[in-house]
Structure 1
């Protein structure tokens, strides 16, 4: 399982400590999503895979079970482990989303990501203006400051921005809304690594200013203003990302 923020950290080249189970999941999952192991293909035998990744049969099979739970593969008797159609993939799984960062650009997927954000962030921001506490506001201001002072550090800025999204989700008091953080992280990573609508520096500056204004609107309980500002952030991300 990849932690939220893992994709943002990887943008600066930071590698997580090696864990054989997670290593195999990541290697095979990444290969499937990026097309190295095509949909419908049957993975190599256990012996070949064990040698390729340098792991035991137990580690390999546990990794394949995890990938099967994510919908990426299906084990069939006398056939082997086959790569599943994309329609079966769990696109709300943060790890599956992370692997798409290195996949070929997919306009349909990007449209879907932003549709999900729009559908869920609207109700979330309205709930946040109603249920936010002083602690939520303090955290929002702290992480906005971290965004402002990140300088050229994509990692510091991205992680701080992701924390802001997380605090807003928590302040809504709806536990299911945190499930979109994986979607937010992928769209944010795309926006941070592209120079489309504006330069990376200009993008970060405008987004930071908008988040600061959003924090003030949440603190003041101004629901319509907060919703409008959140929509502005989403439009900014989309223009920069795709």
Structure 2
């Protein structure tokens, strides 16, 4: 493996080891190599390796105990709300199954957030949703317009407008997974204008103080994304079965 020479050595090692664990290169059965071996493999100091081990332990991927070495923890202990862990999972294979689980989480959170935003009627917060929507509409009208970032801003603005601090603290988790999810669902939808129009319906319900309609419109959008992902999963499973 090439030696790591850039400034933030610990973070780079954390990133490489995290991906290796999630991709199954290191397992609960095999564990990680010793600190000395990792130092040799990456060409960095033991201090940097120990810092990387601490970061991975904080994410739930490993545990380190005296005389027991570095143990890889089972997947059900990983902190999936950690944006790095989520990103590594989404970059792994099969990421579509992770996306399906993510959409199930969104269904539990975002429709309720939209309803709360409509009920609260915080005009300053709703104005931020409007800005994101206007950017989406502008991108949809432009031949080469990029709707992606405005779409992310729309959803995080609704989390903020809900007034629920727990919802808003999920914004990085939502943005990280949406970054990948949109890459699958936008081509399936086929029209940027159709995407912007659906988001407008959510915004309009929030602006008009219609909690139930806001909830239903958000549920519809996420359900539709779920159907695209489930179709893609079914196609891949069919292809694999035919091999």
> C-alpha separation between the residues in 2 aligned to 1:203 and 1:44?
49
Q: Which residue of 1 aligns with 2:72?
A: 83
Tell me, what secondary structure is at the counterpart of 1:230? Answer: helix
- Determine if contact 1:46/1:60 at 8 Å carries over to the other structure: yes
Change (3 A) 1:148 1:39: farther
CA RMSD of aligned residues (A): 2.6
Residue range with higher mean Cα deviation, 68-77 or 48-57: 48-57
Q: Which residue of 1 aligns with 2:223?
A: 235
> C-alpha separation between the residues in 1 aligned to 2:153 and 2:7?
25
Change (3 A) 1:85 1:216: same
Q: Which residue of 1 aligns with 2:11?
A: 22
Tell me, what secondary structure is at the counterpart of 1:149? Answer: helix
Tell me, what secondary structure is at the counterpart of 2:184? Answer: coil
Match runs of 1:67-78 below 5 Å: 67-78=56-67
Aligned match for 1:188, one of 174, 178, 194: 178
Change (3 A) 1:134 1:54: farther
Residue range with higher mean Cα deviation, 128-137 or 217-226: 128-137
Change (3 A) 1:82 1:173: same
Q: Which residue of 2 aligns with 1:138?
A: 127
Q: Which residue of 2 aligns with 1:95?
A: 84
Deviations 1:42-63 (A, max 9, x none): 2112233223334322222112
How far apart are residue 186 of structure 1 and its match? 4.8
- Determine if contact 2:90/2:98 at 8 Å carries over to the other structure: no
How far apart are residue 69 of structure 1 and its match? 1.2
> C-alpha separation between the residues in 2 aligned to 1:37 and 1:219?
50
How far apart are residue 107 of structure 1 and its match? 6.2
Match runs of 1:62-211 below 5 Å: 62-105=51-94, 109-150=98-139, 156-194=146-184, 199=187, 202=190, 204-211=192-199
Q: Which residue of 2 aligns with 1:224?
A: 212
Change (3 A) 1:106 1:212: same
- TM-score, length-normalised on structure 1? 0.80
> C-alpha separation between the residues in 2 aligned to 1:204 and 1:183?
24
User: Gaps (5+ residues) in structure 1?
Assistant: 1-16
- Determine if contact 2:111/2:214 at 8 Å carries over to the other structure: no
Tell me, what secondary structure is at the counterpart of 2:209? Answer: coil
- Determine if contact 1:188/1:237 at 8 Å carries over to the other structure: no
- TM-score, length-normalised on structure 2? 0.80
Tell me, what secondary structure is at the counterpart of 1:81? Answer: strand
Tell me, what secondary structure is at the counterpart of 1:42? Answer: coil
Matched positions, count: 223
The structure with the larger Rg is: 2
Match runs of 1:2-17 below 5 Å: none
